[in-house]
């Protein structure tokens, strides 16, 4: 109940403007919005004097205003609602008849406006949709009613409404009965939903620019209504951000600035927001190591410009929170060295005590990644709870902060299980539950989450009492817990029933933490059997059943067997971390996750029990048309990553790519030919992982700070698009009996040790294609060509050649040919692999020797050899001497012996002692003005190769 309101709200918040449109003066012609623009242009806007404005700057840090008469968001909402009633007057003026259709349409709009303005009696979207359906069924032809009804259908995932809205748009634009707001909202949804119906959003974006330009020209944006216009303006700018359209942002800004009557506060807000977006565009959203020098330069150039305009906007209207709240994010990033983030926060809440964006921005500034700490976050949360303003969401901030910390911490951190969390949160929850100021939905939310918190912290009697006081639907609708509410409810019953002593001992075994050993598992089985005899209550039995599922998983995992993670009707052993989404269990081994509405967020299934590395996990992933889920895959760690804990290993069906997400950034391993059903496989150790798809794509990763202690999750981890489905099946996990590769743990690696390692891996899993490839390569490194060829043959037998021929396999085959002096065959295989970016580095280095030193004159190309050798040397991280020697050979073929001699001398200096003699022989050739040549194939090599084959 306390989560952000549905996406419906910010998009329709400006109906209030209909009161002003065309009423005060004749509208001037709107400016053109299709002219070329310079996104980097520094906009000149007059800075109006603010000397006469009373700023009333509060001391900082100031206590959060708790006085009952301090301005709150509800005050703005009431003002907004009065403006919305002006739009209703427009409807009444054009619909004077009192027939059924007119009355139904009016009822729909009245309820809609109450919802937009967040009035206490606001209906849910489903209830609004029902009223809209009734108006249409009654025969309403009013364009506004039809348009708003189509918006609600789109929110519900009814994509047929898209074409209807697209056809209606010309009538909306031309009719005087329709407000600019309704038109703007129409193009917003057409742009937002274009991807879902395989349409380009560009046409809708252009229409939106025309509508906004006309809106500004109609003198809508005056001092009285500019705060409400700003909400929708900012929402449209957000759409431009989503579509990576700086040009459209700039055109929109230019249209605003060309209208003299636009409120100065609005103009400076618009300019400030534009340069804030421009600064982050150049910087990027990644961590500091991913920012380019030019990105830092532009970020430092545009952020202060943004701050200057937003500061001026605040000085013009210190009674509005918008500018000060945005300045929190600028001060956080260093754009205002004179004012702290807390000072700007204080200014925002001084204007509107419960302005949500001010709290969101300030909390973000307190995160460890911005130099803050969990201690500072919790201290701020307690400060919010101390306000006791239960008519607002401010006390709830403490709950939100603790949830943020738990979601972001590693798998061992369960903050809500800590008795200190109960001591801090219980008074706040009781306040919302009992205060006469609290709204009825908030009272239900507090009751439910007081019960769940009590269950997590061991206050089982209080938990059961609270849960018993609400019905099942209220419990489901209001539960806000990382551990599913059904499990906590069942636990509360089991822990207060006849078997409570056995349950207490079961909890002490820490099964969910993934620490129960073989002895603990045996004891848990006995305790569970005893508990089942004592307590037969439905909820207690469900708790025992779920515990038994996880005990079975844990026992197999400890034994090193594959554990099939099954799906039951009650999804025993799993959390479904999604709202507004569905799950369908098709069989014991298959589940379908579906997003159905806008704002679903991620759709994720997460194991209740933790698995600790080293382990290996596999899953079959099938995205079902339409392909609207962008990043489906597996997650190791916690399903909500924070500070780098956890990684998303993903398949991007749209792009035909696979890789992983880190801090929300794509880290693609490469583009591959995906199948309808793709098998993803992960091997995970602390600080290292290996990812493969369909036994072909291979992408390892090493990061010392990667801690995989956590739950296994799968699904779509980003903002899942509506109306998308993905099927996961054959999900299984097992512990690994071997450590990470020796090259990860040791700086200087003996090739024999590497060979022994991969022989051990293949012994444990004979069908591991990736390990077989590395085994073949290890045999090559130790000059065991027949064994290398046998390993390659085993690889080929496991790969579906019609769907995919692994570049890695072809590379190893080429190296076998090269060492067997079958240079033409090696040449053909290396050239085949060269377009694959994931293998091109290693292949280029091998091609250098053929281009520079092949006995076949037709194969040699000194210029290309130099190019490849230079690229390889730049990318090389080890064995630089070998790449220097290759470049020397390339220069010699190009008859640049001076460069060849210099590089060969460097290669000799870096080469291992046993190999220096060979390198000196090549130096003598270059000093004599002769290029190096590979040995000619001979009969023995051919015979050896034939025997191996």
Residue-range domain boundaries for the chain: 7-23+53-261, 263-365, 483-559, 581-740, 822-933
* Cα 649 from Cα 659, distance rounded (Å): 6
Largest CA distance in the chain: 105
CB contact at 8 A, 781 and 803: no
Segment 316-341 shows an average pLDDT of: 94
* CATH topology classification for 822-933: 1.25.40
Q: How many helices (H) and strands (E) does the chain have?
A: 37, 15
CB contact at 8 A, 83 and 19: yes
Q: Which CATH number fits domain 7-23+53-261: 3.40.50, 1.10.3470, 2.40.50, 1.25.40?
A: 1.25.40
What are 268's two structure tokens?
């400076």
> Does position 627 have pLDDT exceeding 80, yes or no?
no
Closest Cα partner for 250 from 219, 226, 273, 227?
273
Run of H or E residues at 187: helix 180-192
Segment 274-298 shows an average pLDDT of: 86
651 bridge partner residues: 632, 658
Q: Describe the chain by its helix, strand, coil percentages, rounded to 5.
A: 55, 10, 35
> Does position 771 have pLDDT exceeding 60, yes or no?
yes
* Cα 614 from Cα 684, distance rounded (Å): 5
Residues 6+ apart with CB under 8 A from 626: 196, 198, 723, 724
What are 522's two structure tokens?
């045996």
pLDDT band at 942 (very low <50, low <70, confident <90, very high): very low
* Cα 389 from Cα 363, distance rounded (Å): 19
pLDDT of 369: 80
> Does position 652 have pLDDT exceeding 80, yes or no?
no
Q: Do domains 581-740 and 822-933 have the same CATH topology?
A: no
Q: Please give the backbone phi and psi of residue 354, each rounded to the nearest 5 degrees, phi first.
A: -115, 35
CB contact at 8 A, 356 and 384: no
* Beta strands at 590-595 and 563-564: parallel, antiparallel or unpaired: unpaired
Alpha helices in 288-396 (DSSP H): 293-316, 322-332, 341-351, 356-365, 374-386
Residues 6+ apart with CB under 8 A from 113: 15, 81, 84, 85, 87, 88
874-931 tens-digit pLDDT: 777 667 888 899 999 999 999 999 999 999 999 999 888 888 999 999 999 999 999 9
pLDDT band at 654 (very low <50, low <70, confident <90, very high): low
3-state SS class at 84 = helix
Run of H or E residues at 591: strand 590-595
33-76 tens-digit pLDDT: 666 667 777 787 878 777 767 777 777 777 888 888 888 888 88
pLDDT band at 419 (very low <50, low <70, confident <90, very high): confident
CB contact at 8 A, 655 and 428: no
599-613 tens-digit pLDDT: 556 678 889 998 988
Specify the length of the chain in residues. Answer: 949
565 vs 699, residue with greater confidence? 565
CB contact at 8 A, 634 and 682: yes
Closest Cα partner for 606 from 563, 564, 580, 637?
637
pLDDT of 13: 33
Bond before 614 cis per omega within 30 degrees: yes
Run of H or E residues at 698: strand 697-702
| CATH class of the 581-740 domain in this structure | mainly beta
* Cα 905 from Cα 874, distance rounded (Å): 18
CB contact at 8 A, 848 and 868: yes
* Cα 788 from Cα 786, distance rounded (Å): 5
Run of H or E residues at 611: strand 603-611
End-to-end Cα distance, the chain: 68
What are 450's two structure tokens?
């007081």
pTM of the predicted model as reported, rounded to 2 decimal places: 0.78
DSSP letter assigned to residue 867: H
* Cα 316 from Cα 227, distance rounded (Å): 13
289-328 tens-digit pLDDT: 678 889 999 999 999 999 999 999 999 999 999 999 999 9
pLDDT of 548: 97
CB contact at 8 A, 544 and 494: yes
What are 583's two structure tokens?
């799950």
* Cα 894 from Cα 917, distance rounded (Å): 24
Closest Cα partner for 420 from 374, 479, 373?
374
- State how far the alpha carbon of 730 is from the alpha carbons of 173, 591, 736, in Å: 52, 10, 18
């Amino acid at each position: 109940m306390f989560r952000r309101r549905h996406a419906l709200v910010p998009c329709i918040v400006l109906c209030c403007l209909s009161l002003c449109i065309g009423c005060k003066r004749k509208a001037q012609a709107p400016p053109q919005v299709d002219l070329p623009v310079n996104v980097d242009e520094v906009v000149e806007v007059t800075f109006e004097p603010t000397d006469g404005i009373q700023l009333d700057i509060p001391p900082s840090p100031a206590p959060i205003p708790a006085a009952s008469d301090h301005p709150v968001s509800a005050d703005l909402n009431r003002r907004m609602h009065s403006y919305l009633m002006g739009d209703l007057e427009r409807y009444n003026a054009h619909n004077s008849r009192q027939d059924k259709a007119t009355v139904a349409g009016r009822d729909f709009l009245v309820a809609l406006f109450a919802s937009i303005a967040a009035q206490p009696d606001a209906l849910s979207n489903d209830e609004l949709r029902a009223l809209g359906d009734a108006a249409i069924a009654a025969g309403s032809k009013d364009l506004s009613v039809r348009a708003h009804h189509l918006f609600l259908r789109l929110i519900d995932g009814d994509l047929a409404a898209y074409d209807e809205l697209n056809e209606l748009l010309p009538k909306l634009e031309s009719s005087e009965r329709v407000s600019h707001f309704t038109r703007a909202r129409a193009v917003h949804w057409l742009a937002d939903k274009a991807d879902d119906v395989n349409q380009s959003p560009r046409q809708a974006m252009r229409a939106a620019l025309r509508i906004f330009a006309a809106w500004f020209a109609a003198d809508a944006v005056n001092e009285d209504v500019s705060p409400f216009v700003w909400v929708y303006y900012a929402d449209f700018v957000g759409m431009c951000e989503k579509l990576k359209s700086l040009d459209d942002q700039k055109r929109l800004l230019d249209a605003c600035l060309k209208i003299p009557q636009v409120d100065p506060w609005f103009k400076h807000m618009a300019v400030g927001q534009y340069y804030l977006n421009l600064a982050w565009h150049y910087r990027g959203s990644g961590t500091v190591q991913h920012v380019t020098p030019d990105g830092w330069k532009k970020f430092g150039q545009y952020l202060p410009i943004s701050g200057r305009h937003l500061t001026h906007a605040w000085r013009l209207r210190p009674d509005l929170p918008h500018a000060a709240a945005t300045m929190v994010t600028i001060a956080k990033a260093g754009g205002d060295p004179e004012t702290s983030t807390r000072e700007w926060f204080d200014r925002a809440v001084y204007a509107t005590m419960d302005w949500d964006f001010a709290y969101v921005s300030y909390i973000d500034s307190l995160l460890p990644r911005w130099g803050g700490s969990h201690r500072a976050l919790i201290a701020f949360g307690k400060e919010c709870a101390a306000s006791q303003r239960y008519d607002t969401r401010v006390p709830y901030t403490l709950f939100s902060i603790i949830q943020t910390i738990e979601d972001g911490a590693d798998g061992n951190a369960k903050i809500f299980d800590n008795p200190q969390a109960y001591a801090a949160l219980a008074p706040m929850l009781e306040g919302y539950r009992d205060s006469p100021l609290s709204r009825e939905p908030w009272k239900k939310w507090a009751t439910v989450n007081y019960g769940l918190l009590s269950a997590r912290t061991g206050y089982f009697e209080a938990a059961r009492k609270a849960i018993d006081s609400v019905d099942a639907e209220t419990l489901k609708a209001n539960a806000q817990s990382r551990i599913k509410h059904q499990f906590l409810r069942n636990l509360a019953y089991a822990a207060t029933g006849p078997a409570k002593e056995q349950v207490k001992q079961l909890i002490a075994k820490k099964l969910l933490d993934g620490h129960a050993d073989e002895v603990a598992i045996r004891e848990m089985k006995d305790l569970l059997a005893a508990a089942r005899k004592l307590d037969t209550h439905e909820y207690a039995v469900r708790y025992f059943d779920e515990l038994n599922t996880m005990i079975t998983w844990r026992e197999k995992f400890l034994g090193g067997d594959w554990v099939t993670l099954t799906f039951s009707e009650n999804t025993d052993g799993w959390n479904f971390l999604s709202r507004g989404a569905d799950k369908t269990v098709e069989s014991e081994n298959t589940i379908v996750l579906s997003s159905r509405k806008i704002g679903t967020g991620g759709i994720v299934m997460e194991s209740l029990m933790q698995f600790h590395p080293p382990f290996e996990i596999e899953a079959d992933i099938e995205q079902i048309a339409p392909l609207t889920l962008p990043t489906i895959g597996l997650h190791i760690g916690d399903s909500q990553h924070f500070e780098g804990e956890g990684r998303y290993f993903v398949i991007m069906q749209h792009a035909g790519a696979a890789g992983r997400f880190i801090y929300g950034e794509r880290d693609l391993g490469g583009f591959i030919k995906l199948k309808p059903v793709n098998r993803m496989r992960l091997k995970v150790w602390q600080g290292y992982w290996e990812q493969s798809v369909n036994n072909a794509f291979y992408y390892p990763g090493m990061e010392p700070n990667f801690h995989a202690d956590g739950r296994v999750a799968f699904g779509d981890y980003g903002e899942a698009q509506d109306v998308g489905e993905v099927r996961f099946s054959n999900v299984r996990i097992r512990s690994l009996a071997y450590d990470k590769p020796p090259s990860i743990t040791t700086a200087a690696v003996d090739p024999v040790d590497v060979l022994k390692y991969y022989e051990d891996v293949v012994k444990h899993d004979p069908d591991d294609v990736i390990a077989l490839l590395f085994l073949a390569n290890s045999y090559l490194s130790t000059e065991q060509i027949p064994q290398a060829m046998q390993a390659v043959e085993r690889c080929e037998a496991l790969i579906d050649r019609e769907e995919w021929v692994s570049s890695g396999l072809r590379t190893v085959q080429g190296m076998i040919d090269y060492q067997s002096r079958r240079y033409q065959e090696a040449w053909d295989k290396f050239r085949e692999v060269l377009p694959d970016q994931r293998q091109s580095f290693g292949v280029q280095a091998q091609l250098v020797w053929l281009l520079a030193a092949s006995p076949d004159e037709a194969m040699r190309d000194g210029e290309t050899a130099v190019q490849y050798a230079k690229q390889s040397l730049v990318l090389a991280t080890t064995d630089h001497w070998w790449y220097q020697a290759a470049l020397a050979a390339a220069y010699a073929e190009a008859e640049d012996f001076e460069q060849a001699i210099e590089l060969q001398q460097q290669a000799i200096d870096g080469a291992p002692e046993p190999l220096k003699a060979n390198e000196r022989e090549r130096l003598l050739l270059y000093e004599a003005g002769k290029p190096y040549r590979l040995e000619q194939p001979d009969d023995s090599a051919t015979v050896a190769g034939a025997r191996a084959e």
